[in-house]
Structure formats: structure tokens, C-alpha cells
Structure 1
Amino acid sequence: MATVENNKHNEQAHEHKHEHEFPKMSKYDEALSKYNTDLDDAAVRDAVRKIIAEKVHENDTLEVKKFLFGSIELTSLKTTDSDESILAFTERVNQFDATYPDLPHVATICVYPCFAKTVSESLEVDGVEIACVSGSFPSSQALIEVKVAETALAVKDGATEIDIVMPVGKFLSGDYEGVCDDINELKQACGDAPMKVILETGCLKTASNIKKASILAMYAGADYIKTSTGKLEPAATPEAAYVMCQAIKEYYDETGIQIGFKPAGGLNSVMDALIYYTIVKEVLGEKWLTNKWLRLGTSRLANMLLSEILGEETKFF
């Protein structure tokens, strides 16, 4: 009898050992395993340097600058924002359409959720989206119930797009399930409104982390992936953009699902915009060069691009 018990015990021990040696891969690790996430930061830097040196100059044209202007998400995310200031901000977009009928309008007005109603009720230009940063922007540090409620209310008040921040702390501690669950719950709260997931690439440090975060965000329901909140340094970088665009391309090749891209934060010059445009063109191709699939999160760039398009210094916004 004892021998039978011993044999059984040994079999169980062997099974446990076997399980320990070959842990079952989570569905998140399985999703990541379909992509190359083992990236070399120096190789990424070199690839980006090469693109900038060889390709940017050919995109430095009036036509591209007009396109970039039409891809801007005109953003006001200040502590001092008020109904009055956001109303005036929206009015400028209305006036722009009348003042420059031959130029494209901006793609989006981006504000905090408490101003969605103000923008929604005062925006008169067809085709300009209303984006709200939601889910406890910019830290994403809140109870999921709070983040879901904020997102649902923003959509109810007129937001046509939602920008959320990936829970970066969960990602860095390896809680991929927590990351994906958060993103997916917020995606449900968006209803039909497209959702952009901000990776806050400056906190992710490595190209490998940026690639993994990009894939997990898309896997969990992102319609766009976005570099940064603009509230932390470093914000968007060409290297982060390059890795994110690679991830979008590979995800598209794997699934057939097209995901948009939005660099934001640190777009300080027309040259910055041209660099991001060039990276998208070289990595993703023409299919992404529309103001649906490429967005630029910035306000300071609007006047700079406008000045170059018009050939004189212009401070419209």
C-alpha cells in the first residue's frame, strides 16, 4: 500500500516539476511572441538617423506642410483652461475655416472631458473631431471605475475620439493582463468613438519596451497608438515613432487591422513634423498618409506650419 502511495507521490512531484519547467504561456506573452520585440536601441537610432539624412528633404514641400496642418490635433490641456478660454479656442477653429477657405482645417480639437460639451455645442466646422483625454490623464492612476465613468461621460457630452494613457506602472511591473484589461474596459466605454492609447514612451526607456507596449495596446483594442502626454520629458522622439510604426506595420501584416499613429509632446518645429511624416511614409507607406491615420498632437506647431504655408509669420491660433 505504501509503495502505491509513494509511486503516486513521485508522479505528482514529477508533474509539478514538469509544470515548473514549462510554465504555461499567458495569452499576452503568446500575442507578443508573434513579433520581434528583442530590439537593439543603437540599431534603431542608426535606422532613424539614416531616414532623416536621406529622406526628409524630399518631403519638405508646400503640399506636405498643408497635409500636416490638416493632421493637427489642436490641443488645450492647461490647468487654467475654462469654459471661456475653450470657447474662444473653438471659435478660432470656426473663424479659420472662413478666413482660409482654401486651406485644410485642423483634424481635431483636443480638450479635457469637462469641456467636451462646450466644444460640441460651439464647433461649426464639419469634419473636425472632438477628442478628450480621459481615464485620469496624464497619470492613468485611478480606480478603473473612475476611468470608465470619465470616459463614458466624455462620449455622452460629445467627444468623438478618446485619448487614454496606458497604465505604465502595471506595464513596467510586468502586469500585462492588468494593462490589457484596463485598455479593453475603456475601449468598451468609448462605444463607437475611436480610442488612442498613449504609451508615454519616455517612461518606457527601451525600444523593446516600446514595441511590447505598442503590441499590447493594439491587442487590447487601441484604434491609434500615441507617443506621449506631453506632460513628461522626454516626450515624442523619432526613435519611439520608428518602433511604434514598425509595430503597427507588423500588427497590420499579422491581423489585417489598420491602426493609426499620433506623435505628441515635443513637436517644436516644422522640421519635427516633417521627420515624423517621413518615418510614417518610410515604415508604413502611403496608406497611412491621410489625416485619419496620422495625427500630430500639438498647438504650437499650428502657427509655425501656417506661417510657412502662407510665406509670412502668422499667429492665428
Structure 2
Amino acid sequence: MGIIKENVSKDIKAQKAAQIENMSKIDQAFAKYNLEVDEAAVEKAVKRIIDEKVPANNTPEVKKFLYGSVELTSLHTTDTEESILAMIEKVNKQDSLYPGMPHVAAVCVYPVFVNLVRNSLEVDGVEITSVSGSFPSSQSRMEVKVAETQLAVADGATNIDIVLPVGKFLSEDYEGVADDISELKEACGDVPMKVILETCCLGSLSNVKRASILSMYAGADYIKTSTGKEKAGATPEGVYVMCQAIKEYYEQTGVMVGLKPAGGINTPMDAIVLYTIAQEVLGDKWLTNEMFRLGTSRLAQQLIDELNA
């Protein structure tokens, strides 16, 4: 009887192995993860973190860390060379105006302003992030997306933020999504690339998990919540699921992928909540100004105001 059970077990394992071998590479990747997210359980976990852990992080030290993680962003239709230069001037003058504060992690602009930023930014260690790939819709020919990305890198971008092709994702063209991301990653060369999931458009937290895993397998160096151009931005629940995906991907591959919440981060407390979620799910290894970024246009000054109150 024991031999029969052993043979049956071997047959089942062989069948499963054959099934996996016949899957596409994307399906093989998905098979390693539980992509069905219990939304009620996520809400409960987030509520516990907010109630029990956030108060302890409402400190000057955490706020200074958050300031040093900010990607100071200007992505307006009304942006001008003058307005971008005014933003860069604030960064350049920070040491004299706010001694003891870290500098922001990056400035984030449209590709047309990258060369201007490169020539005017005087602070070492501040990255130049450019949105690219037909931001914010990602609805353009691939040749256009690649050319825009290559030009941004040539002009001096040291980070590139692209948008997941949400339409393809919602049509379940996962191979097409992965191909787009991989091609843009190749266009970036050695420059780190963030993939914006536009979580508010994905329909469910299960899709947030799936999009996170797909983006990382396709080459994302960071996953980012939002463009800030849609109906909503970063939510605690979405960030929690993205952190889970990053952790599980790291356990499977040994590759650390960064996190960038963006959009709708309106107060220091919003940022503290997201920081605390990352701390609880990912641990201190991810709590560096390189691995944890915040995309925002207003938070930096609010943090300075609170720290100097």
C-alpha cells in the first residue's frame, strides 16, 4: 500500500511539473504566488498597523527620513522653465535655509525639462527622475515610448518612471505588458526604472498583486502606486499589498525591488502611515532613502514646517 501511495504521489508531482513546463513564462511566474488577495484581511491588517504602530513613528527622526525620501515633483501642464528653475533653486538653497536637514532624494519632471535640471541642480546625491513612455496614459506606439525614454536618459535622467500599460493589463494581455516593460527597461540601460501601476484603475487588490509581480518579473527596479493624474493615488491598502508582493518576490528571487508611493500624499501623517506599513511588511532593510521613495509636490515643505514648528 505504501508503494502504491508513493507511486501516486510521484505521478501527481510529475503531472504538475509537466503542467508548469507547458505554461508561458508569465504563468510560471504567477504560479509561484498566491494572487488571490483577501481584501477584508488586508483592511484588518492595515487598521491594526495604523492603530498600533503609527503613533510611535510620529517623530522628528522619521519625518527627517521621509524628507530625505521625497522625490520633489512638478508634473503640470502649466510647467515652464521658470517654474522648474524655481523648484531647483529651493533644492540648491536647502543647506543654507535648513541646516541639519537631509536633501530630498530626487526631483521629478517631464522629459523636456531634464537637461535644464541637469544643468541647474547643484546638490550632489539628488537624483533626476523623468517620467517617460507616454506618461501618464502609456497609450502610444512602442517606438515613441522607447525614443522618449532614451532621450530622457541621454539628457541626464538618473531615474525613469514609466506607466504600466493598464489597458493591456485589464485585457489580460500579460505577455504584452511584460514585453512593454522589458523593452523600456532595455531603453533605460543602467538607469533604474520605476513602473507605475496606477492602482486605482486596476479594480481589485488581487490585480494590484498581479501587476506588482508582473512588473518585477519584467524588470522593474521599483514599483510605484500612481501617476497622480487619475481619480485616486496611493492608499494604505494598495501599498500594503505592493509591499507583500515585493517581499514575496525577494524571497523567490533574492532581488530587492524598491517602493514609491505617490499621488494623494497630502500630509506628513499620510506619509508616516505608508512608511509604517513598509516597515511592518518589508522590515528595516527597505527603510533607506534609496529603496523607499515618496512622489509628492507638497509634502517636503509640510515636513519642514512641522520640524521647525
When the two structures are superposed, what TM-score results if normalisation uses the length of structure 2? 0.92
| Whole-angstrom distance in 1 between the partners of 2:203 and 2:126 | 34
Q: Percent identity?
A: 67
| 1:194 corresponding residue in structure 2 | 192
Q: Is the 8 A contact 2:20 2:28 kept in 1?
A: no
User: How is 1:28-177 mapped onto 2 (pairs within 5 angstroms)?
Assistant: 28-177=26-175
| Whole-angstrom distance in 2 between the partners of 1:80 and 1:22 | 51
Mark the runs of 5 or more structure 2 residues left unpaired by the alignment.
1-18
Matched, 1:292 2:284: no
Q: Is the 8 A contact 1:251 1:257 kept in 2?
A: yes
Q: Is the 8 A contact 1:226 1:263 kept in 2?
A: yes
Deviates more, 1:69-78 or 1:89-98: 89-98
- Deviation by residue 1:194-251 (Cα, 9 ceiling, x = unmatched): 0000000000121110000000000000000000000011211000000000000000
**Secondary structure, counterpart of 1:70 in structure 2:** helix
When the two structures are superposed, what TM-score results if normalisation uses the length of structure 1? 0.90
**Secondary structure, counterpart of 1:73 in structure 2:** strand
Query: Offset of 1:101 from its aligned partner?
Result: 2.9
Query: Offset of 1:23 from its aligned partner?
Result: 11
| Whole-angstrom distance in 2 between the partners of 1:224 and 1:209 | 17
Deviates more, 1:78-87 or 1:112-121: 78-87
**Secondary structure, counterpart of 1:281 in structure 2:** helix
Query: Offset of 1:22 from its aligned partner?
Result: 10
User: How is 1:229-308 mapped onto 2 (pairs within 5 angstroms)?
Assistant: 229-308=227-306
Mark the runs of 5 or more structure 1 residues left unpaired by the alignment.
1-20, 312-317
Q: Is the 8 A contact 1:195 1:224 kept in 2?
A: yes
- Deviation by residue 1:254-302 (Cα, 9 ceiling, x = unmatched): 1000000000000011110000000000000000001000000001111
| Whole-angstrom distance in 2 between the partners of 1:47 and 1:206 | 17
| Whole-angstrom distance in 2 between the partners of 1:64 and 1:22 | 45
Query: Offset of 1:134 from its aligned partner?
Result: 0.2
Deviates more, 1:64-73 or 1:87-96: 87-96
User: Are the structure 2 counterparts of residues 250 and 23 from structure 1 closer, same or farther at C-alpha, using a change threshold of 3 Å?
Assistant: closer
Letter in 2 for 1:104: P
| 1:15 corresponding residue in structure 2 | none
Letter in 2 for 1:100: Y
Q: Is the 8 A contact 1:97 1:125 kept in 2?
A: no
| Whole-angstrom distance in 2 between the partners of 1:244 and 1:302 | 24
What RMSD, in angstroms, separates the aligned Cα atoms of the two structures? 1.3
- Deviation by residue 1:97-127 (Cα, 9 ceiling, x = unmatched): 2222311010000000000000000000000
